[in-house]
A and B are shown apart, each in its own frame.
Chain A
Amino acid sequence: MNIFVFVKKVPDTESKIRIDHEAKCIIEEGLSFVINPYDEIAIEEALRLKEAGEATVTAFSLGSDESIPILKKALAMGADEAVLLKEDLAESYDGLRTARIFVQALKTKYSDYNLLLFGKQSVGADNSQVPSMVAELLGLPQVNVVTKLEIDGNTGSAYREIEGAVEKVSFSLPAIISAQKGLNEPRYETLKGIMAAKRKDIPVVEVQELGFDGDELTSQLELIKMESPPPREAGKVIEEDPDVAAKKIVEYLREEAKAL
């Protein structure tokens, strides 16, 4: 079985995000970048499927050379191969554009796959779009936000989280699955894995050379502005006996906030 996992470089979730208003982008200087946490779960799932049977795991990332450490991380965890789909552009926040690039790479260069794994969203663009879009463009079944996955030969079942319930979905391979927290607990890379990943070659595919027509790669979303969220004013803080504090909370909610 051939499993492809799509991974993205994102700012660490503990980072404070600063904005360059002129350039309408986030200021990357001083940020530390990590593999998108949901993508890490997707890699772990691929590795578990590999360990349970026979599979080759290949990680793909779209981005500049700065995404190579993310691919090395995937290799160090245990992925067999990694490929960089290279492009030196700023984040477009347009999921369709990203999906088209993945689909073009799959159609023209990497057409041998059984399972395509993603994170349910990147913690950054927060789009939750690319897995579904790739599924549609390739005409494949999709199950997003998956917390349990069972593959049996050419078919599978996935459990997906919705509001207050879980949906069980059956599908046949090839299929698109996106991972949610709870699917597994990603492993730490081993020293041996890190050393092996260091030596491993990562092929680079230039996005420009994937054979796109002129404007197919133009983002269809126009970014008008980017700003910080309106700051929240700190309110009143009290330190009183528990009984009094409890009364004051309820009073505040009812009288001042008029929320109860």
Chain B
Amino acid sequence: MFLVFLEIRDGKIKKSSLEALSEAKRRADEMSMDVAAAIAGHNIEALAGEAFCYGASKVFVLENTLLSHYSPSGFAFALKSLIDEVNPTVILFSATAMGKDLAPRLAASLGVSLATDCIKMTANGGKLEVVRPIYAGKAFATFSFKSSPQMVSLRPNVFPLIDPLDTQGETVKKDVVLAEDNVRDQVVELLKAEGVALDVTEAEIVVSGGRGMKGPENFDLLRDLTSILPHSAVGASRSAVDAGWIDHQHQVGQTGKTVSPNIYLAFGVSGAIQHLAGMSSSKVIVAVNKDPEAPIFRVADFGVIGDLFQVIPPLKEELKKLLAE
């Protein structure tokens, strides 16, 4: 059995969790295995339906009021008790902030190794092979597992969703026995980051600015573009972040975030090697830069040599026109 942990945020299953579930369905079909999903929280049973649409034939609902707010220790404890009982062959997470926090804690409690943030998963006989970028994508390593269950987290925005199925499955409610002492690091407050609607790792379009943006106020030009582009977010190079022009959570690159959006628009980004590492897996890269020698042009699918301050205003109008169609 494949067991996929589904993350709930704002009362919904996260899209990247459904991506992991979709990938589980594809691989499990090849390996003639079942797919089950697990959700954890309080009064969340109604969410199981969506999991059936994306390939789960069974959904385990881990229920306890102590699970209504996330804690890595509490969630790992609850999941371990389920796993000890149902004994899955593969355990999948999405490599979100929660997935990266929780999966290793669970792996250690099970005494198994974990492959983080994988971008490819193939079935080789009864075993999985996974590819994970290392050195921020400057190298790709392929691993298989000697420990069981095989535990993997998948990079968001890489694995396509399956077409929703019109099926129902079995919901299995588990009242988790959990003492206060099992919950040692609970979230007590959720603070929305100011002005951030969508994280760069989750955006389908990333509009990024580098040193060529010249100052913090000019990032409004990029915010303008994201306000008209669907599912988009503002990114930045390390030099823009280090100059204090924009918060580090927007940083793309080796000491920032690795992104793989459908479209990466780079304005005034020179393309330092550590930046390229973080965005080279984008599906389409468009770059605007004054310097014809900028390394970003070596990875861009479409490059414009020019002044970003002159290109952005007409570009915004063109995009508006197109999106209005």
A residues contacting B by CB (< 8 A) are 11, 13-17, 19, 24, 26, 37-38, 93-97, 99, 123-137, 140-145, 157, 159-172, 175, 180-182, 218-229, 232, 234-240, 242-243, 245-250, 252-254, 256-257, 259-260
Contacts and interface: CB of A to CB of B under 8 A. Distances in A.
Q: Is the interface of A mostly helix, strand, loop or mixed?
A: mixed
A237 B297 contact: yes
Contacts of B284: 253, 257, 259
B304 A167 contact: no
Given A224-B142, A234-B297, A260-B263, A129 B116 contact: yes
B254 to A, nearest CB: 4
Q: Is the interface of B mostly helix, strand, loop or mixed?
A: mixed
Contact of B192 (A136, A137, A161, A164): A164
A234 B135 contact: no
Contacts of B135: 11, 17, 26, 123-124, 126
Contacts of A24: 141
Interface string B45-79: 00000000000000000000000001111001000
A157 B193 CA distance: 18
Contacts of B304: 237-240, 245, 248-249
B113 A94 contact: yes
Interface in B122-152: 129, 132-147
A249 B315 contact: yes
Contact of A142 (B132, B134, B147, B185): B185
A165 B185 CA distance: 17
Interface string B251-266: 1011110000011000
B193 A182 contact: no
A168 B187 contact: yes
Nearest to A182: B248
Contacts of B142: 223-227
A256 to B, nearest CB: 8
B300 A168 contact: no
B31 interface: no
A252 B322 CA distance: 12
Given A165-B193, A249-B302, A141 B105 contact: no
A175 B300 CA distance: 44
16 contacts: A16-B138, A17-B135, A131-B104, A141-B185, A142-B185, A162-B97, A163-B202, A164-B196, A165-B192, A168-B189, A220-B146, A224-B144, A237-B297, A250-B319, A252-B286, A259-B283
8 closest A-B pairs (Cβ-Cβ)? A246-B314, A163-B199, A141-B185, A220-B113, A162-B97, A235-B301, A237-B303, A220-B147
A7 B188 CA distance: 29
Interface residues of B, number: 101
Nearest to A244: B314
A254 B322 contact: yes
Contact of A181 (B107, B134, B248): B248
A95 B283 contact: no
Contacts of B146: 218-222
B201 interface: yes
Contact of B318 (A144, A170, A249): A249
Most central of A96, A223, A227, A238 by chain B CB within 10 Å: A96
Most central of B139, B191, B297, B307 by chain A CB within 10 Å: B139
Given A96-B108, A170-B186, A253-B284, 15 more contacts: A13-B255, A13-B273, A96-B113, A96-B114, A124-B134, A126-B134, A165-B190, A219-B146, A221-B113, A224-B143, A235-B300, A237-B304, A240-B304, A243-B314, A248-B302
A227 B303 CA distance: 28
Nearest to A243: B314
A138 to B, nearest CB: 10
Contacts of A250: 315, 318-319, 322
Nearest to B304: A245
B198 interface: yes
B184 A171 contact: yes
Given A132-B104, A240-B304, A259-B263, A159 B318 contact: no
B89 interface: no
Given A16-B273, A93-B134, A221-B146, A132 B105 contact: yes
